[in-house]
Structure 1
Amino acid sequence: MKFNLIPLILTVLFFSCNQKEKHITEVTSPNKDITVNFNLTKEGQPFYTVMFNNKTVVDTSFLGFDFKEIEDFDKNFKIKNASTSTFNETWQMPWGEQIDVVNHYNELRVELEETSELNRKLNIVFKVYDDGIGFRYEFPEQANFKEALIKDEHTEFNLTEDYKTFWIPGDWDIYEHLYNTTKLSEIDALQFANHKNLAQTYIPENAVNTPVTMVGTDGTHLSFHEAALIDYSGMTLKVDTENLDLKSNLVGSENTDYKVKRMLPFETPWRTIQISDNAPELIESKLIVNLNEPNKLGDVSWFTPMKYTGVWWEMHLGKSSWDYGMTQNMSTWTDTGGAHGKHGANTENVKRFIDFSAKNNIGGVLVEGWNTGWEHWIGFEDREGVFDFVTPYPDYDIDEVTRYAKEKGVEIIMHHETSAATETYTKQQDTAYALMQKYGMHSVKSGYVGKILPKGEYHHGQYMVNHYNNAAIKAAEYDVAVNAHEPIKATGLRRTYPNIISREGLRGQEFNAWASDGGNPPEHLPIVAFTRMLSGPIDYTPGIFNIKFDEYKPDNQVNTTIAQQLALYVVIYSPIQMAADLVEHYEANPEPLQFIKDVGVNWQKTKVLNGEVGDYVTIARQERETGDWFVGGITDENARTIDLIFDFLDENQSYEAIIYKDGDNAHWDENPLDIIIEKIEVSKGSNLSVKLAEGGGFAISIKKV
C-alpha cells in the first residue's frame, strides 16, 4: 500500500509558493464532501488531487499530452487565470430512468499558458458534483497552435488504496469480456489477449476499459469513466500495479502514428470519477449525462420506449438462420430457393411474432436476417459491398409485413448488420434510413461484428467514434433511433442526441447460447449493474424462460433462475427491452409472462433500494404513463434474503403487489424454473422479506387498488 508522506495542506502550500500570483485553485462539491485541488509543480507541470470525506482518494496526479512533431504539454506552464462558479438547473429526460435531473455543480476553470516563447495555451476545467467530478482539457484558439496530433493523453488517477476492483481488459475492439474481481495491484489484463469467442479482440497494454468500479476498505466507492466522447479516441486506463496508478491510454490506429487529430479550438471528453460511500448511489448518479450538452434534436416524441420481440434468439439457438440460401456472383444474387429451409426472417414467421406482440402489450418486433448478404460476410476479408440495407430476401415481403404490423399496432424494428464495413454503411445510410421512414420504422439495431474496415482501425478509436456518432446524428434526420451493438462505449450522449437510445457494449445474453466457456456466470449481472450500467442503457435481451435449451443446445444454458430473468426488466435499464425467448416458450408459461406484459420501460422515478457491487442489487422504478411501481432484485451465486420497506409508495394508498420469486427449491443450475407467484396488499412503510436462490431473483408489480 502507498502512504502519503507529505500532508496535503503542506503540498498545496509548497507548490503555491512557486506562483508569482495567488489564484483560487480549490473547488468543493455543493455538499462540501468532495474537494478538488489543482496546482503546478516548480517545473510548471499541472496536477490535481481529490478528497472525499476529508480523505485523499486521488493523490498528486499529473496532466498533459504527447504530440507528434511539436513539444509536449507536460511542463513550463503558468496559471494565467483561475476562476470558480456555481451552476444549478433541473432538466427533463424525454425518456429515461427518471423525469427530472438535477444538474448542480461548482466549477473551477484554470487558464494555463506556457512560459516558453510559443506561449501556447491550455485550459483545464473541473466540475465538482455531490456524486463525483468531471474534468476536461480545452484547447482555445491561438496564433501559435493550429492542429493537435495527439500521440497520447497523460491523465493520471493516482490512488491511495489497493482497492477491490471490478474490471474488464482495455480491449481496443470489444467490451465482451467477463468482469474480473481482484485487487488493483493484481490486475493482469494481458492474460485475456486471446479471447476464446471473438476474433477481433486486441489488448496491447495492461489496461482496463471503463467504467471500472472500485470499493475501499472504509466503504468508499469509486467508478472511473468518461463523458461526451465526441471526435476523440476512446480512453482505456493503463494500470501501474506497483504504484496503484491509472493513466489514460487512448485507443490508437495502425494507420497513423498519432491517436487523435483535432483542429483548434476543441475540448476533450470529460474524465469522470463517480464517488460515493455506498454502492446504490453509484447507480442513482447522473454525473455522466449531466456532463453532456443539452438536447440538440428538440422534439423526439416520434420515438416510443417499448418492449419488443424478434427473430433473433431462435438463430442463436440454431432453430433458424440469418441467411436464406443464396449465392453471390460478383454484383448479382442468385436465388437457390432457400435450400437449407431454416431462414428465420420470412413473412410467415415474422407475422407470428407480430401476433404475439400485439396480444401481450409488446410494442415492437425486431427482424434480423431480412436483407441479402448474410451468406457472404463471416470470414471474408473484404466485406465492403456485401450488404445493402434495402433489398429483402425473396421470402420476406416487407410491404406485407409492415402493413400487417401497422394493422396490429406493432412497430417493426429495423436491423442493419454492417459487418464492420463502415464505408459501405456510410454511403448507404441515407437510402437505408429513407426506407425506414417510408415504412414508419423509428428504431434500428445496428451491428459491427468483425474487424473494422478500413483495415487498421479499431472499434474504439477516433475513426469509429466519429462513425458511430455520425450514424446516429444522420438517423435523427429521418426520425430514427439507434441501438448500436459492437459499439463504442456509452458516455451520456443520449442527453444531447436522445435518439441514441441503447447499446450493447458488454458480454450479452447471447453468450449463454453459444460461448464455449459456460456462458455468463451468476455474478455477471450483479457486477454489470455497478459497472457497465453506470455509463448508460443496456440492450441485454432478458426474458429467457427455456433456461436449459435442451431442445436445441443441451450443452449450454442461461445461468439464472426464471425469476431473475423477470427481475432484469427492472434492474438492467433500457428504454427498449426485448422479450427475447421464442413465442412457444412464452405461450407455455403464461403466468410469468404476465410480468413481461405488465412491466414498464420508461420511468418517472428510480430508487436503488440496496446492493453491493458483484453480490446483489434491488431497484424500484415508477412507470411514467401509469404511475405503477415495479421492483426487481438479483443475486450472484449466493442465496440471500432481501428485506424490503415500501417507503417509496404514496401515503394513505393501498396497492396490490404481485410477487414473482424463486421457489423453495430453486437454483440457477439444478432447478431454474422453480417459481412462486403470489399476491399481497402493501402500503407505504410495509415490510417484506424475499428469499433469493443461488443465481436467483424476484420481480414485483405494484398497482394502486
Structure 2
Amino acid sequence: MKQRLLLIAIAFLIVACSSSLKKASISSPNEAITVNFNLTEKGEPTYQVLFKNKVVVDTSFLGFEFTDAEPLKDNFEIKAFGTVSKNDPWEMPWGEQLKVENEYNELIVFLIEKDTERSVNVIFRVHDDGIGLRYEFQQQDGWTEALIKEEKTQFNLTQDYKTFWIPGDWDIYEHLYNTTKLSEIDALQFANHKDLAQTSIPNNAVNTPVTLVGDDGLHLSFHEAGLVDYSGMTLGVDTENLSFESILVGSDNTEYKVKRQIPFKTPWRTIQITDNAPDLIASNLIVNLNEPTKIHDMSWFTPMKYTGVWWEMHLGKSSWDYGMTQNMSTWTDTGGAHGKHGATTENVKRFIDFSAKNNIGGVLVEGWNTGWEHWIGFEDREGVFDFVTPYPDYDLDGVTRYAKEKGVEIIMHHETSSATETYTKQMDTAYALMQKYGMHSVKSGYVGKILPKGEYHHGQYMVNHYNNAAIKAAKYQVAVNAHEPIKATGLRRTYPNIISREGLRGQEFNAWSSDGGNPPEHLPIVAFTRMLAGPIDYTPGIFNIKFDEYKPNNQVNTTIAQQLALYVVIYSPIQMAADLVEHYEANPEPFQFIKDVGVDWQQTKVLNGEVGDYVTIARQERETGNWFVGGITNENARTLDITFDFLDENQKYEAIIYKDGENAHWDDNPLDIIIEKIDVNKGSDLSVKLAEGGGFAISIKKLD
C-alpha cells in the first residue's frame, strides 16, 4: 500500500493567538477543486469551493448552536493550521470494483474562541471527485459534553440548479423524487400531496443525497459520510438566496439533537463535484471518507442472488401472518389470514428447489416467526415479535437442513415493527440462532413509528441502533440488509457486513401504491441520487408486469427488458429475483440473464447517462471476468450508442442482447422483448433502441 504523507507549514505551523492568520487554502490532487477558508472581521469561520477556477460554493458560514451553552459562530482566531497529502488505495471485499483509488489533500484549521478559549477544528478533505468537511472537538478544560441544538453548516450556491430531491422527512426516504429548479423547491407542499403518513419535515428541507445539475453541465451531489453516533442531516433550502443549510434530525424527548462526550468528530458533509453525470456514479468519495475496515475476514459472506417469500405477499397471494393467536401451547383461529400464510415449509422448499436449479444462492423467508398478527397499526408493539420461534406450519430445522443439502442459504428476516427495545434485547439470541443454522445474511425491517415514542428513524437514537445492530451482527458472522433504515453513508467500508439497504421508494410500491407506483423516471433519477450513497436492495426482476389477477389497478411501470437491466444498473451485492417462481418458469429465455448475471464486480464503467433521463453501466464479474451491461431510460424512447472499448485487446466475445421489441412500451406492451446473439470485440459499436420506460441488458462472455 502506497502512502505519501506531507506536512506543510512546518508541522502544522502552530501560531498561538495570531490575529494576522486569517486564510488558508487546499486543492485536490489534480488541482481542479480548491477550498478557501477565511475568517471574517467578526471572526466568523467561512469557506468557499471552486471547480476549475469557477466558484461553486460561495462564501458560506460554519458553526453550532447548543442547548446549554452560547453558540459557536464568531469571535474566533486561527490558532494553527496544517495540510496533509495522502495516497491510500484499498480493496473492497465485495463491491462495484476491487481496487479503489484514494488520494486526497487535507486542510486542518484549529480555531479558538477569543474570550472563552473554547476550541473546534474544521477539517477539509479534497479529492479529485469532491470534498468532505467535518468538525472536530478536541479534549479541553471546562467542556466535557456537547448538547447540540443545531449544526449551522451553509452551502451558498451560485446558480439556480436543476435539482432532484425528496422531502427532508425525519422518518422515511420512501418518496418519489421531484425535479425542480432550486428556487422552486417546496418540500412541505410536495410531501403533503403524497399518501404516506408524514412525520416531521421542518421548514423547507430536503433529504440527502440531493443532486444538482447546472446549465453549464456542472453536477453536484450533497450528502454525508461516516454517520456514527450523531443525528442524520437534512438540508434546509433558502430558495431566495439559493442556499442549503444543515438541519439535524431531532427528537421529541430532548431539546438537543445530538449529545456527545468531548472529544468527538462529526460526520463528513460531502459535495461530489463533476462536469458530467456518469462521473457522479463512478465517484468513491463517500466510501473513501470512511475509516478502513474493522472486519478483516469477510470470507463467510458470499454475494448472491436470491428468491423468496416476499412479492407474493405484496400482491396479496399470501400473507405474512399465520392468522392465529397463541395461548400457551394452543393456537386459536382469529379469522385472519389463516390458509394464506406464505412462509410454510412446503412453499419455502419450492423456492429452495427453484434456486438450487437456477444458480441462485439464497432464499429469503419473510413471515416465518410469530408476531405478525400484532404489528402494523398497533401501539403496543414492544414484545410482539419473537425472533427464534417459528409458526406451526414452518419447520425451521427441516427447511434449513433441506436448503443446506441443496446448496442454498436461507436468508433470515427480522421485522422489528420499530419496537427497538424488543429487538435490542433479542439480538444476541436471534443472531446466535442464525449462526447455529449457518445463515449469514439478515434482512431487517423497521416499519412504523419508532418506539420509544418521540424518536425518529433518522435521529441519533436510531443511528446508533442501526449501527450497533450491524456491529453486533458481525460477531456472529451475520451481514445486514436493513429496510426502513438510516441513510447509507459509506460505513460499508468500515463494517463490510453492512451489505445493502432499502432507503428509497422500492419495487413494492408498484404492487399497491394508490398513486400508480413508481413512474418510469424514478430509477434513472435514483441511479444519480440514492445510489450515490451506497448499495440498494431494490428487488428487481418482475416479469408479470401487469399482475391483473392480483392487483388490476397496479403494475410495474417498466418493460421486462428494463427489469433485466436493473441487475446491472442498480447495485447491490445481493440481488433478488423477486417475481413468483411460475413466472420465471414460463419465461425461460429472458430468465437466462438473471441466471447468468453477476453480483460481485472487478470493475465498473459508467458508459453514458443524464440524471433522470437514462444511464448505461458495464460491470465485470470478479470470478469469471465476464462483462454485463445494463441500460435504462425514463418515459422517453431513445437510442443509445455503445462502444465496447472496455473489453480486452485481441479477444473475441459472444454478446447476448436482451432488448425492447419494436412495439415495446412500459404500459401498452411491456413484455415485448428481443433476444439476439452477436460477436463483439474491443472497439465494436452497437446502437440499441430503448422503448418508453424500457431498457436493455447484455451478457458478454469470452469465445475460445
CA RMSD of aligned residues (A): 1.3
What letter corresponds to residue 91 of structure 1 in structure 2? Answer: W
User: Is residue 232 of structure 2 the alignment partner of residue 234 of structure 1?
Assistant: yes
Q: Deviations over 1:584-618 (max 9, x none)?
A: 00000000000000000000000000000000000
Distance 1:31 1:415 in 2: 46
Distance 1:387 1:204 in 2: 33
Following superposition, the deviation at residue 132 of structure 1 comes to 0.2
Following superposition, the deviation at residue 89 of structure 1 comes to 1.5
* Aligned with residue 311 of structure 2, among 313, 326, 335: 313
* Aligned with residue 162 of structure 2, among 154, 161, 164: 164
Following superposition, the deviation at residue 19 of structure 1 comes to 6.3
Which residue of 2 is the match for residue 70 of structure 1? 69
Change (3 A) 1:682 1:46: same
Distance 2:343 2:61 in 1: 54
Is the 1:326–1:333 contact (alpha carbons within 8 Å) kept by the matching residues of 2?
no
Q: Deviations over 1:638-685 (max 9, x none)?
A: 000000000000000000000000000000000000000000000000
1:448-597 map, 5 Å: 448-597=446-595
Distance 2:533 2:399 in 1: 35
What letter corresponds to residue 510 of structure 1 in structure 2? Answer: E
What letter corresponds to residue 68 of structure 1 in structure 2? Answer: T
Q: Secondary structure at the match of 1:429?
A: helix
What letter corresponds to residue 345 of structure 1 in structure 2? Answer: A
Following superposition, the deviation at residue 573 of structure 1 comes to 0.2
Q: Deviations over 1:133-153 (max 9, x none)?
A: 001000000012110000000
Q: Deviations over 1:454-491 (max 9, x none)?
A: 00000000000000000000000000000000000000
Q: Deviations over 1:233-290 (max 9, x none)?
A: 0000000000001000000000001100000000000000000000000000000000
Following superposition, the deviation at residue 196 of structure 1 comes to 4.0
Distance 1:311 1:92 in 2: 34
Which residue of 2 is the match for residue 121 of structure 1? 119
Which residue of 2 is the match for residue 272 of structure 1? 270
Following superposition, the deviation at residue 298 of structure 1 comes to 1.1
User: Is residue 253 of structure 2 the alignment partner of residue 255 of structure 1?
Assistant: yes
User: Is residue 111 of structure 2 the alignment partner of residue 112 of structure 1?
Assistant: yes
1:123-272 map, 5 Å: 123-194=121-192, 196-199=194-197, 201-272=199-270
Following superposition, the deviation at residue 205 of structure 1 comes to 2.1
Distance 2:535 2:381 in 1: 30
Is the 2:191–2:198 contact (alpha carbons within 8 Å) kept by the matching residues of 1?
no
Which residue of 2 is the match for residue 598 of structure 1? 596
Distance 1:245 1:456 in 2: 30
What letter corresponds to residue 460 of structure 1 in structure 2? Answer: H
Following superposition, the deviation at residue 20 of structure 1 comes to 2.8
Distance 2:101 2:108 in 1: 21
Q: Secondary structure at the match of 1:25?
A: strand
Distance 1:154 1:688 in 2: 50
Distance 1:614 1:133 in 2: 24
User: Is residue 415 of structure 2 the alignment partner of residue 417 of structure 1?
Assistant: yes
Following superposition, the deviation at residue 191 of structure 1 comes to 1.1
Which residue of 1 is the match for residue 429 of structure 2? 431
Is the 1:195–1:201 contact (alpha carbons within 8 Å) kept by the matching residues of 2?
no
Distance 1:443 1:339 in 2: 28
What letter corresponds to residue 85 of structure 1 in structure 2? Answer: V
Is the 2:21–2:78 contact (alpha carbons within 8 Å) kept by the matching residues of 1?
no
* Aligned with residue 684 of structure 1, among 667, 682, 686: 682
User: Is residue 628 of structure 2 the alignment partner of residue 630 of structure 1?
Assistant: yes
Distance 1:583 1:92 in 2: 36
Which residue of 1 is the match for residue 82 of structure 2? 83
Which residue of 2 is the match for residue 93 of structure 1? 92
Change (3 A) 1:24 1:196: closer
Distance 1:205 1:435 in 2: 45
What letter corresponds to residue 29 of structure 2 in structure 1? Answer: P
Following superposition, the deviation at residue 194 of structure 1 comes to 3.6
User: Is residue 648 of structure 2 the alignment partner of residue 650 of structure 1?
Assistant: yes
What letter corresponds to residue 216 of structure 2 in structure 1? Answer: D
Q: Secondary structure at the match of 1:95?
A: coil
Is the 1:170–1:205 contact (alpha carbons within 8 Å) kept by the matching residues of 2?
no
User: Is residue 337 of structure 2 the alignment partner of residue 345 of structure 1?
Assistant: no
Which residue of 1 is the match for residue 39 of structure 2? 40
Q: Deviations over 1:62-116 (max 9, x none)?
A: 0000011211100111000011110002100000000000110000000001101
Distance 1:415 1:220 in 2: 42
What letter corresponds to residue 301 of structure 1 in structure 2? Answer: S
Which residue of 1 is the match for residue 391 of structure 2? 393
Distance 1:668 1:564 in 2: 9
Is the 2:305–2:599 contact (alpha carbons within 8 Å) kept by the matching residues of 1?
yes
What letter corresponds to residue 188 of structure 2 in structure 1? Answer: L
Normalised by the length of structure 1, the TM-score is 0.96
Which residue of 1 is the match for residue 296 of structure 2? 298
- How many residues are aligned here? 687
Is the 1:354–1:365 contact (alpha carbons within 8 Å) kept by the matching residues of 2?
yes
Identity %: 82
Is the 2:639–2:689 contact (alpha carbons within 8 Å) kept by the matching residues of 1?
yes
Which residue of 2 is the match for residue 660 of structure 1? 658
Distance 1:144 1:137 in 2: 19
Following superposition, the deviation at residue 492 of structure 1 comes to 0.0
Following superposition, the deviation at residue 407 of structure 1 comes to 0.4
Following superposition, the deviation at residue 47 of structure 1 comes to 0.5
What letter corresponds to residue 96 of structure 1 in structure 2? Answer: G
Give 5+ residue unaligned stretches, structure 2: 1-16
Which residue of 2 is the match for residue 10 of structure 1? none
Following superposition, the deviation at residue 195 of structure 1 comes to 6.4
Following superposition, the deviation at residue 204 of structure 1 comes to 2.5
Is the 1:193–1:202 contact (alpha carbons within 8 Å) kept by the matching residues of 2?
no
Which residue of 2 is the match for residue 15 of structure 1? none
Which residue of 1 is the match for residue 285 of structure 2? 287
Following superposition, the deviation at residue 38 of structure 1 comes to 0.3
Query: For structure 1, which segment, 463-472 or 377-386, has the greater mean C-alpha deviation from structure 2 after superposition?
Result: 377-386
What letter corresponds to residue 484 of structure 1 in structure 2? Answer: A
Q: Secondary structure at the match of 1:470?
A: helix
Change (3 A) 1:333 1:608: farther
Which residue of 2 is the match for residue 3 of structure 1? none
Is the 2:326–2:332 contact (alpha carbons within 8 Å) kept by the matching residues of 1?
no
Which residue of 2 is the match for residue 334 of structure 1? 331
What letter corresponds to residue 608 of structure 1 in structure 2? Answer: V
Normalised by the length of structure 2, the TM-score is 0.96
Is the 1:23–1:82 contact (alpha carbons within 8 Å) kept by the matching residues of 2?
no
Is the 1:24–1:84 contact (alpha carbons within 8 Å) kept by the matching residues of 2?
no
Distance 2:692 2:508 in 1: 21
Distance 1:195 1:143 in 2: 51
Following superposition, the deviation at residue 551 of structure 1 comes to 1.3
Is the 1:49–1:61 contact (alpha carbons within 8 Å) kept by the matching residues of 2?
yes
Is the 1:193–1:201 contact (alpha carbons within 8 Å) kept by the matching residues of 2?
no
What letter corresponds to residue 402 of structure 1 in structure 2? Answer: T
What letter corresponds to residue 122 of structure 1 in structure 2? Answer: V
Distance 1:145 1:286 in 2: 36
What letter corresponds to residue 36 of structure 2 in structure 1? Answer: N
